[in-house]
A and B are shown apart, each in its own frame.
Chain A
Amino acid sequence: MGVSALRTENLSKRYGRLLALDGLSLDVAAGEVFGFLGPNGAGKSTTIRLLLGLARPTSGRAWIFDTDAADVAAAHRRLAYVPADVALWPRMTGAEVLDLLARVGPGTDTAYRDELIQRFALDVSKPAGTYSTGNRQKVALVAAFATRAPLLVLDEPTSGLDPLMELQFRQAVGVARDNGQTVFLSSHQLAEVEAVCDRVGILRAGELVEVASVAQLRRLHHTDVAATFPGTPPDLAGVQGVDGLHEDGATSVRFTLSGSPAAALRALADADVTTIVVREQSLEEIFLAYYGHNAR
């Protein structure tokens, strides 16, 4: 196995009676784009705070490229970070913040930084106090992507960005991957994770419940389907991919679809379907379904 960019061993964090993180053991290889998924309160941010040395683990240890994460002077020379909720000094302009972070940080490619400022359409001459949430996030993203740090730790970095900017973000992650940088992306936006990540870890209530490739994650996908018919709905029980079937009134049915939809669509077409609504399940629903299966 190659070099680990980020490694934890039985990492736990307890806040009073709440066990926020329970024995997390994780290994992210250098050069990998790793998605860290989980619903709110699952312990994603706690994990990152422990990795950055902002909080102290109750037990267990963490390493950044084989440097103890607690030794921040050495460990932080090899990482850059984008927090979920970026707070800046309100009177400093974006350019001043970027200058400060470049001068105290792990080294910055200023030419690439200027390019990123253009791409993210960030007006750096304005004081940070006038920035929206998204603009503050852009400042932190530009600062992080412009470093040559071999590890980028991104905590829900696109929660305030519009779709255009999210596209820029995905491109920047691609550039980082091409440069051989490792990206640790915490998110609860499944589409974003699917688009950029090689592997994902799923956290639930402080425990790592799954580490899988994105191809494996896709199998978690279900689609909600609702269909109405001129008369009695056909019997879809036993059709390949159809699950959770129930009648919704006399002329309509609902079911979830997984895998190939071909068989189900044929069955519906044969029955002269009048309307059909197909909706992708939200991450939350997938998680709920997934956790439900696992619990059984």
Chain B
Amino acid sequence: MIVTTTAAARPEHVLRGLAVRQVRRGGLVVTAVCACMSALVVVGYRSEALDPAALAALARNPAIRTLFGEPVALDQAGGFTVWRTSVVLAVLLGVWTMLTATRITRGEEDAGRWNLLLSGRITLPEAVRQHLGVLAVVPVLVGAATAVAMIAAGVDATGSLLHGTGLAAVGLFFVAVGGVTAQLFVSRSESNGVAAAVLVVGLLMRMVGDGVPALAWLRWLSPFGLMALTRPFDTNRGLPVSVLAFAAVLLMALAGRLAARRDVGAAILATPGSRPARTTLLGSVPAFAVRRTMRPLAAWSAGIGAYFLLLGLIAQSMTEFLAGNPEFASMAAQAGFPALGTVEGYAATLYALLAVPVGVFVAVRLAATAADENARRLTLLLAAPVTRARLLGAEAAAAGCAALVLITVAGIAMWAGTATVHAGLAPGDALAGAWNVTPVVLLCLGAAVLALGWAPRAVAAIGALPAAGGFLWQVVADSIDAPTWTRALSPFTHLAAVPSTAPAWPAASVMAGIAAAGVIVGTIGYRRRDLSA
């Protein structure tokens, strides 16, 4: 007899297969980036030799500790690699695991795809546990690959393994954080927002804990702090990473428990049943765009403001250190951070970093417009007498103006920080330096509008490219001493070091012109194409 029914596979296998399909590509990219970057820095270290006395001065400086973490074992390739890469890689891995955790659980549920899945033999807590369990394999893989890459590049196995374990533990922690917030909140965006807040607060606690000896205990409360406290290639402590892994396991168990206590499509923190209507900013399409930008703007302002306030607070210490240690000043100049010895030069250098989060903010806002279109939320608006150009114009203008607010917030925060420590940065200079990154942000806006018109699935990636991609491009070009024309591809190369020098108006005009062209071509595409609404 021929059996025509599908063999009754065990549901957990099917679930795991489904989860693997959703995480494998991103997981491989993150693993490759972490392993390759660690190995490259190990290999690159041998060509440099550092004076031990200067290294000791470096390790004592609170500003250096705040920005880059506590420098330990810098006289070894492994220690130096951990110091240079651990924060960047931990943040990268943390952001990816957190976003992926909410995407494959709350995101799928939000889109209604889990209704069908959970109508079978699979229960909600089981689905949550299996998805988080599969995702948890990625940070373990990342940690293992990083350790193996570093050992292969020729550094000590114990330190490498401990560093890999620390990285894995941070990743696991954020898988669990994303998993818990996905149970607490009813929408994916809220879950992401709260998980991102945990990440930013953790990062700021690590920075303050490293910079202020009296608050060093704060590091025990931060995943990034715990990772740093393991001190690979130095004292090789296992306790902090055990604490972090234990916290991750507890949170993971909590996510499963919370999932068992709620309904499919609902959340632990219920949305308030009824409330009076708030009708401000509903009168027109531009007003409505502003209304939807307010909440994200407030959250991003808080994060960016806190970061630049902290940078302002350490300005004095940093500039004095570099003025007193010309060896590091010249090293910093070679690494693309010239003139860190004056407060204006310091501000100009760190303001360039501002373009990255603000550019990403603009890209994310226009990606939200694309998501609204894709989810058909724009249909009712577009069935009103509202042209597409007007809708797009309103969305882009709201995102652009919000970006200017963010930039201004960063300028004011930096000034407030420097004023507190009497570092002598004039308020006008502080604002001019912050506004100097506007052309890069405009490029992001132009790229995002272009993508919305012609490649609406890739708005976030294409929109963030000029800022995030341009920044990485410049860092890589600086490290490998690339020819000038390749450097010129990064918009950061064309930013003047305001406020220590005058703004580069011609370059800014060219970037604004390219951005305008992107907006025009994108608008043409957006008016011509079929909407998925």
Q: Could you tell me if A130 and B376 are in contact, using CB atoms closer than 8 angstroms? A: no
With A52-B382, A55-B530: A83-B376 Cβ-Cβ less than 8 Å = yes
Q: Could you tell me if A125 and B276 are in contact, using CB atoms closer than 8 angstroms? A: yes
A116-166 contacts to B, CB under 8 A, are: 123-127, 129-130, 140, 143, 153
| Residue A95 CB within 8 A of the other chain | yes
Give the contact stretch, choosing among A99-107, A213-221, A222-230: A99-107
Residues of A within 8 A of B529 (CB): 56
Residues of A within 8 A of B376 (CB): 83, 85, 87
Q: Which residue of B lies closest to A104 (CB)?
A: B384
Give the contact stretch, choosing among A3-11, A24-32, A70-78, A285-293: A70-78
| Residue B275 CB within 8 A of the other chain | yes
Cβ-neighbour of A127 out of B272, B279, B372, B390 (below 8 A):
B272
Q: Could you tell me if A129 and B383 are in contact, using CB atoms closer than 8 angstroms? A: no
Given contacts A72-B387, A81-B383, A125-B277, 8 further A-B contacts (CB under 8 A): A73-B386, A81-B380, A90-B186, A91-B187, A91-B271, A96-B277, A104-B381, A126-B274
B273-306 contacts to A, CB under 8 A, are: 273-279, 282-285, 288, 292
Q: Write out, one digit per residue, whether chain B residues 361-375 have a CB within 8 A of any chain A CB (1) or not (0).
A: 000000000001001
Q: Could you tell me if B380 and A103 are in contact, using CB atoms closer than 8 angstroms? A: no
Cβ-neighbour of A130 out of B271, B284, B375, B377 (below 8 A):
B271
| Residue B533 CB within 8 A of the other chain | yes
B-contacting residues of A (Cβ < 8 Å)? 49, 52-56, 72-77, 79-81, 83, 85-91, 93, 95-97, 99-101, 103-106, 123-127, 129-130, 140, 143, 153
Cβ-neighbour of A96 out of B186, B279, B385 (below 8 A):
B279
Q: Could you tell me if A99 and B386 are in contact, using CB atoms closer than 8 angstroms? A: no
| Residue B261 CB within 8 A of the other chain | no
Q: Could you tell me if A140 and B186 are in contact, using CB atoms closer than 8 angstroms? A: no
Q: Which residue of A lies closest to B266 (CB)?
A: A130
**Bound-complex Cα distance A85 to B379 (A):** 10
Q: Could you tell me if B384 and A105 are in contact, using CB atoms closer than 8 angstroms? A: yes
Residues of B within 8 A of A88 (CB): 377, 380
Residues of B within 8 A of A83 (CB): 376, 379-380, 383
Q: Could you tell me if B379 and A87 are in contact, using CB atoms closer than 8 angstroms? A: yes
Q: Could you tell me if B531 and A54 are in contact, using CB atoms closer than 8 angstroms? A: yes
| Residue B24 CB within 8 A of the other chain | no
With A125-B274, A126-B274, A130-B273: A80-B385 Cβ-Cβ less than 8 Å = no
30 cross-chain CB contacts under 8 A = A54-B379, A54-B530, A56-B530, A72-B382, A72-B388, A73-B386, A74-B385, A76-B383, A76-B385, A76-B386, A77-B385, A80-B383, A81-B380, A83-B380, A87-B375, A87-B376, A88-B380, A91-B271, A96-B277, A96-B278, A97-B380, A99-B279, A99-B282, A101-B381, A104-B288, A125-B277, A129-B187, A130-B271, A140-B380, A153-B383
**Bound-complex Cα distance A85 to B530 (A):** 18
**Bound-complex Cα distance A83 to B379 (A):** 8
Q: Could you tell me if A106 and B384 are in contact, using CB atoms closer than 8 angstroms? A: yes
Residues of A within 8 A of B382 (CB): 52-54, 72
| Residue B422 CB within 8 A of the other chain | no
Residues of B within 8 A of A106 (CB): 384-385
Q: Could you tell me if B279 and A72 are in contact, using CB atoms closer than 8 angstroms? A: no
**Residue of A53, A73, A100, A103 ringed by the most chain B CB atoms within 10 A:** A100
Nearest first, the 7 A-B pairs at minimum CB distance are A81-B383, A95-B277, A125-B274, A55-B530, A76-B385, A87-B376, A100-B282
**Nearest-CB distance from A101 to chain B (Å)?**
6
Residues of B within 8 A of A100 (CB): 282, 288, 381
With A56-B529, A125-B275: A103-B283 Cβ-Cβ less than 8 Å = yes
Q: Which residue of A lies closest to B528 (CB)?
A: A56
Residues of A within 8 A of B187 (CB): 90-91, 129
Q: Could you tell me if B375 and A55 are in contact, using CB atoms closer than 8 angstroms? A: no
Residues of B within 8 A of A153 (CB): 383
